[in-house]
Structure 1
Amino acid sequence: MTTALKFDLDRNGFAILTIDVPERPMNVITPELTAELTQAVERIAADAAIKGAIITSGKPGAFVAGADLKDLVTAFDKGIDAVEGSKASFELSALFRRIETSGKPFAAAINGLALGGGLELCLACHFRALSDDPKAVVGLPEVNVGLLPGAGGTQRLPRLIGIPNSLPLLLQGKQVKPAEALKLGIVHALAPADQLVAKATEWLLATPSAEQPWDKKNFRVPGGAGPMAAHASQTFVAGNALTSANTNGNYPAPNAILSCVFEGTQVPMDTGLRIESKYFGKLLSGAVARNLIRTMFINKGAADKLAGRPKGVAKSKVQKLGVLGAGMMGAGVAHVSAKAGIQVVLLDSTLEQAEKGKAGIAAMQAKDLAKGKTTQDKIDAILGRIKATADYADLEGCDLIVEAVFEKREIKADVTARTEAVIPETATFGSNTSTLPITGLAKASRRPKQFIGIHFFSPVEKMPLVEIILGEQTSDETLAKALDYVAQIKKTPIVVRDFPGFYTSRVFGTFCSEGQKMLLDGIEPTLIENGAKLAGFPVGPLAVSDEVTMFLQQSIYKQQEADNLPEKYRGKLGRPVVDRMVDELKRPGRRFGAGFYDYPEGGGKKLWKGLKDVFPVKAEQPTLAEVKSRFLTIMALETARCFEEGVIASPIDADIGSILGIGYPAWTGGTLSYIDTQGPKAFADECARLAAAWGPRFEPSEWLKARGASGELFYKKAG
């Protein structure tokens, strides 16, 4: 029988507890580990011959990564309430409390990464020695999954290093490296990984106290606690206001953390731990934590590991990449690929244009150099991998092509033919188109089975998503090669079927169109923009329209007409606004100096004052909740339509794509998680209500109504 904890006794009478959770690349806190650690602690406490203990890890470079998220994610679906969630937290918290009050000194030999519950275990130990490896980090990242540290983190850390120093780790999930951890006082000593146990042994031999500072009489939190502390106005009053402004009430964890710290640090440790567990239970039983854990960590992690990659296809690696088009998108693709070690041929219609694209990459790297994020040697290596050219012959030997030329079918057809005349027969051809059907573009190819959509998002350097689009003839081998490339450049892929607008562009279009339709409905522009941001979108639909330009939106509408796209798929909703802004008012967007916003020369932006004259505002305005619902619902509804039509087959891809690609609020878990969280029937009913109030675009299909009537979810319930 394998165990998660190895128990040894050394010649000094010290217990060496080595954590090594079986069949896991990294240690996580599992029920088995908790049970074995409990038994070990009680054995140490009861045996007079055991003088102390050292806790370390059997996995090189890593101590404990925290709780097992795959276990926590099931709580909401299982119907675990706040009381049950609180008990789960307090059981682990009580174990750690037992460590520090057992009467025996415990030392943590932290041989690498210690996050979440891993760091909380260390904080319960009386001495902490951390590996001085730069890759070793400590932190409490629970806020990123909608939770708070539930095993003493909100209580021990502030008592150890003071409230102001602890809040960045608690509220931002900040991770600190060894030198900073030592400076802050999170750890007592640094040592090479192979000397940590010796360092801990040295401390134990010095007959140390087995009492924590906060258990000593007259202990005071460094810098003070409560409303009278000198920092209180900044940390709690201003901090609460800033937290509320940043989360807009959509993410409950930061405010719960502030409450834990404020309330818990004014009372004895045992009471503080109970306060912490109470707040943890509320968060664990809520939908936001489930949504964040499921989509942003478990499902994204699976996507990054290419869980959907076709089986039986050999792994591939791009050695030489051809990028057609050196504009912002093409240069971005060339940049991230060269950073990943790939040789890149950056081709444009003229050498001057190609060199301009490469110069933009150099300028971006220079900014990183100025910020200390890179070195000149690394920059030289990246730029050395990029060959700017206008000669198609330079594409010879490319494993993969990413075409990123202007969104015109005839232009793309021309570069496809010219490229295929040069590249190897085995090469894959990927188009970065965001709107034109891949099957149609593949008609210009002599090898449609090797033709695929590889849709990046702008700016490529920052946006983590890549949308892979399958044409009618795209082979499994081509899909596998495209996915391998996305993993090679450390992006997250989703896979969708061919359709005008595919998935992300189609759903994103509803966000812009809904904001534009609100102008026609007489809604105050500031309410439109603020309503979207308060719902959790990074920017409002009018600002987004300016960024992508209404000129581009208008050209998409015209292309849809030219392609005789069925009426229900044409973006007619916002077209009257777009046509007027482009043709009559000559305000097509930010790149042209004017759009829904004005862009002063000194920087910044502000809504154009003339907007209300062009689109008069009605005296009676909808509620903020109504505006938020329109945005959240229309995008979720369009995703459901994509799912119904087979454009996207996986709710996982739908949710990841909606958050990482088009800015749907992460607290929802994504567009389909939003429907599941609302409840299928409640969502269908809300669609019907909005349809009656604002138009038939909100009308749910019979398929969606049937799902609502039966309560069918997109995700199966855990447990």
Structure 2
Amino acid sequence: MTDFIYEKDADGIVTITLDMQGQSANTMNDRYVPGMNDAIAKLRAEDGLTGVIFASAKKTFFAGGDLGLILAIEKSDAETMRYIEGNKFPFRDLEKLPVPVVAAINGAALGGGYELCLACNHRIVVDDPKAIVGLPEVTLGLLPGAGGVVRLTALLGLEKALPYLTEGKPAKPQVALAAGMVDEVVATRDDLIPAAKAWIKANPDQHAQPWDQKGFRYPGGDALSPKVRQIAVASPAILYQKTRGLMPAPAKILDIAVNSMRMGFDAALRNESRGICALVTTPECKAAITTFFFGMQAIKGGKVRPEGPHWKATKAAVLGAGMMGSGIAWAHANAALPTVLKDMEMDKAEKGKSYTATLADKAIKRGRMTDDKKTALLSQITPATDDTAFEGADIIIEAVFEDIALKEKVIPESFKMLAPDGIYGSNTSTLPISILAKACPDPTRFIGLHFFSPVDKMKVVEIILGEQTSEETLRKAYDYVQQIGYMPIVVNDSRGFFTSRVFGTFMDEGLALMIDGMSPVAIERAAWLAGMPVGPLAVHDEVSMVLTQKVRKTHKDLDARLGTDAGFGAHNTASATVSDAMIEQGRGGRHYGGGFYDYTADGSKSLWSGLAQFAKGNAEIPMQDAIDRLLYRQAIETLRCLNEGVLRTEVEANLGGIFAIGFPAHTGGAIQFIRGIGVDTFAARAAELADKYGERFTLAPSAYDILRTSTAKAA
């Protein structure tokens, strides 16, 4: 068996079919370069060669670089440079063949796979939405280092190439054709090779790339054209607004793309190699590959899923047509899962269904949905006021108000309608599942399913195991979450679970900074510089302090009822102090007319002038301290969750933190953030913060042992 299947037809056209053995996809593994070099040497020695076609025996065309090898690189030295250059040299050799070369793209061609296509003279793709092309390296903290930056800039021009290079968005066949990323689209995979051979026969002399031809000019203008110079000057500031200076890859890509237009082609390729060498060892690159590639692969590939047959829900019910219930019903409809949306009044149930109609109308306006799709979506949701409407449901999700007495009433009544092998989920955000399960006739089939608001944008679900939840129920819940297209994060039962506990520390630390005397503007700026999506004061307004207060009181009542002191949010003293005072002054949050911000009719907002009353100190808090306080509080609480067994794996800790609560993506998640800094360095800095600002930053030295003894507690 061979990785490169070499076949020559009677017309002198050689088809090289990539089929990396022992892999589900073609990658630039350790056999790739020798294999490509051998294939090109054979092509050079071929008598009567008239053309070359690159095809794939896999479902995808070519997946690009071997990220395991890249992750293992520790130094940007001469050896790393040789490795990078070795991967891209075959593409330059390919461009110098005296015959036309065609890429027959049967599936996804991303990263190094699309860079191979760029080195070909003609690119043909099958008209299949899965046959995407693009250069996503920037999303992994890298740049397209096998000629992608230089060639795409030369192919499309700087203005058109930059979005694909600095954002890493892939393009489907018709979009790629319109953009100039591919040259031809065929209807079926069987049409690819015939179309490639036809083009070669019709264009026997088109073997020189545009950039190798005398008089080549960049589309849209050369380096000195006014428009290109304007783009080069304005783009760094635009990038900084998007990345906040926290992600080095986009800026490096921009620099290489612009400068590639000012030097010879081969010099530009070498400059590109230097650029990727500088990125491969950065913490941001290591974090992105670890979390967004291998971590996502672990989740999607089922490495953290309980073993057993896959399960699929065919009928669902959502109880409560408020914001969360309506959002969950939309998610079900979008996944073609028929759902009964139940509320106490039909008007409320109908209003809940109209939420899906509103989202559909917005999508139609943007050209992302058709009227027929909207009709199909709405047909999946049935408003109801009676439990019998969802009799025999495979899954019931209780999404009523966060009140334990109400939930304890709803759960046993509605459970009767569940199919014999169905599962029951509660959308509670903080109430212990094991306690709610006591109201369930069969606690083994009861589980927490914590969605996040707004459900249509927050594509993650926290699955919470109760003390009696069965493995079968967990497996079904896991499959259900993936069935509707969301990311499952599994945690064990605890007050506030994982996400609410950690997010509460971020919100609290923002108020602690204000009490210490930092200006509200500087606090929000610190969160922005740290990489958080929204500042803590703005978050308090969106969540509403009224809700925060109710949650705190609910847990006090729960402690009294159970005769325990769970200490939920014990360190969140700033939140209790400030939010109670704000509510007393009629400033409960945005929904209540104003909170930390004043809101105007045109949608603008400004910080409330009365916030100075909360400053008890006059400390000159360095901006770096403020940034560290906001991030370290969350990372420490995440580590506590891991140590306590609330979190089961680092992968789920990292991805859950990023997608559910907005922990800065460039860090790779809270645990990866600690690893990126270095466990001992992080512990030392946490101790400094504890000495300076309080015991909430304190962790016993043994708490870090779980990270010291395991390099990847992933799956």
State the TM-score, normalized to the length of structure 2. 0.95
- Bigger mean CA deviation after superposition, 345-354 or 651-660: 345-354
1:220 equivalent to 2:217? Answer yes
2:257 aligned residue: 261
Q: Decide whether aligned partners of structure 1 residues 203 and 376 sit closer, same or farther in structure 2, where only a CA change above 3 A counts.
A: closer
Deviation of residue 200 (structure 1)? 2.3
Q: Give 1:601 deviation, angstroms.
A: 1.0
Aligned counterpart, 2:510: 515
Q: Does 1:155 align with 2:150?
A: yes
Q: Structure 1 pair 652/471, CA: closer, same or farther in 2 (3 Å)? A: same
Contact 2:424 2:446 in 1 (8 A): yes
- What do residues 511-559 of structure 1 show as CA deviations (whole Å, max 9, x unaligned)? 0000011111111111111111111110111111111111111112212
Structure 1 residue 621 corresponds to structure 2 residue 620: yes
Q: Secondary structure at the match of 2:419?
A: coil
Instruction: Quote the residue 1:68 is aligned against.
Output: 66
**Does the Cα contact within 8 Å between 1:680 and 1:707 map onto a contact in 2?**
no
Shift of 1:230: 1.7
Matched residue, 1:484: 479
Q: CA deviation at 1:236?
A: 1.4
Deviation at 1:456, TM superposition (A): 0.5
**Structure 2 residue 276 is the aligned partner of structure 1 residue 280:** yes
What residue is the counterpart of 2:594 in the other structure? 594
Given that 2:516 and 2:618 are in contact with CA atoms closer than 8 Å, whether structure 1 keeps it comes out as: no
| CA positional deviation for 1:289 | 1.2
5 Å-filtered alignment, 1:464-475, equals: 464-475=459-470
Q: Which residue of 2 aligns with 1:199?
A: 195
CA distance in 2, matches of 1:420, 1:209: 69
Q: 1:179 to 1:523 in 2, by over 3 A?
A: same
Per the alignment, residue 326 of structure 2 pairs with 331
Alignment of 1:427-576 (within 5 A): 427-564=422-559, 565-567=565-567, 569-570=569-570, 571-576=572-577
Q: Counterpart amino acid of 2:644?
A: E
| C-alpha contact 2:317 2:397 (8 A) present in aligned 1 | yes
**Amino acid across the alignment from 2:251:** N
TM-fit CA distance, 1:382? 1.9
- Equivalent of residue 103 in structure 2, options 102, 108, 118: 108
> Retained in 1: the 8 A contact 2:13–2:49?
yes
Which secondary structure does the structure 1 equivalent of 2:108 belong to?
Answer: strand
Q: Which moved more, 1:118-127 or 1:228-237?
A: 228-237
Unaligned runs of 5+ in 1: none
**Alpha carbons 2:459, 2:486 under 8 Å: kept:** yes
1:103 positional shift: 3.2
Instruction: Give the partner amino acid of 1:277.
Output: S
Equivalent in the alignment of 1:358: 353
Q: Percent identity?
A: 41
Letter in 1 for 2:482: A
Check the 8 A contact 1:680/1:713 in 2, yes or no. no
CA distance, structure 2, for counterparts of residue 301 and residue 459 of structure 1: 25
Contact 1:83 1:278 in 2 (8 A): no
Map of 1:698 onto structure 2 = 697
**Pairing 1:157-196 to 2, within 5 Å after superposition:** 157-192=152-187, 193-196=189-192
Q: 1:321 aligns with which of 281, 296, 316?
A: 316
Mapped partners of 1:234, 1:681: distance in 2: 46
Calculate the aligned-residue CA RMSD, in Å.
2.0
Q: Does the Cα contact within 8 Å between 1:84 and 1:281 map onto a contact in 2?
A: no
- Cα distance change, pair 568–382 in 1 and its aligned pair in 2 (3 A): closer
In the alignment, which of 291, 295, 309 is matched to residue 295 of structure 1? 291
C-alpha distance in 1, partners of 2:52/2:592?
67
What do residues 128-161 of structure 1 show as CA deviations (whole Å, max 9, x unaligned)? 2233445432211111111110000111111122
Structure 2 portions without partners, runs of 5+: 560-564
Q: C-alpha displacement at 1:8, in angstroms?
A: 0.4
Partner amino acid, structure 2, of 1:351: M
Partner amino acid, structure 2, of 1:278: R
The answer to whether the 8 A contact 1:44-1:52 is kept is: no
Letter in 1 for 2:149: T
Determine the C-alpha separation between the residues in 2 that align with 1:134 and 1:464. 21
* Contact kept? 2:334, 2:377, Cα under 8 Å: yes
State the SS of the aligned residue for 2:257: helix
Q: Distance in 2 between matches of 1:115 and 1:524?
A: 46
Deviation at 1:198, TM superposition (A): 2.3
> What does residue range 20-169 of structure 1 map to in structure 2 within 5 Å?
20-60=19-59, 62-75=60-73, 79-81=74-76, 83-169=78-164
User: 1:609 corresponds to which residue?
Assistant: 609
Contact 1:65 1:116 in 2 (8 A): yes
Cα distance, 1:310–1:180 mapped onto 2, change above 3 Å = closer
SS at match of 1:31: coil
* Whole-angstrom distance in 2 between the partners of 1:540 and 1:83: 43
SS of 1:457 mapped into structure 2:
coil
SS at match of 2:435: helix
Is the CA contact 1:684–1:704 (under 8 Å) kept in the aligned structure 2? no
- The aligned counterpart of 2:562 is none
Q: Which of 302-311 and 547-556 deviates more?
A: 302-311
Q: CA deviation at 1:377?
A: 1.9
Letter in 1 for 2:191: Q
Shift of 1:310: 1.8
**Matched residue type, 2:62:** V
Q: Structure 2 vs 1, CA of residues 373 and 707 (structure 1 numbering), >3 Å: closer, same or farther?
A: closer
Equivalent residue letter for 2:283 = A
The answer to whether the 8 Å contact 1:9/1:15 transfers is yes
**Cα deviation, residue 620, structure 1:** 5.0
What is the SS of the residue equivalent to 1:400?
Answer: strand
For residue 345 of structure 1, what is the aligned residue in structure 2? 340
Q: Is the 8 A contact 1:449 1:473 kept in 2?
A: yes
Q: Secondary structure at the match of 1:196?
A: helix
Instruction: Please state how far the C-alpha of 1:204 moved relative to its aligned partner.
Output: 2.6
Which stretch of the first structure deviates more once superposed, 549-558 or 271-280?
549-558
Q: Is contact 1:83-1:281 (8 Å) kept?
A: no
- How far 1:610 moved relative to its partner? 2.3
Aligned residue for 2:661, secondary structure, equals: coil
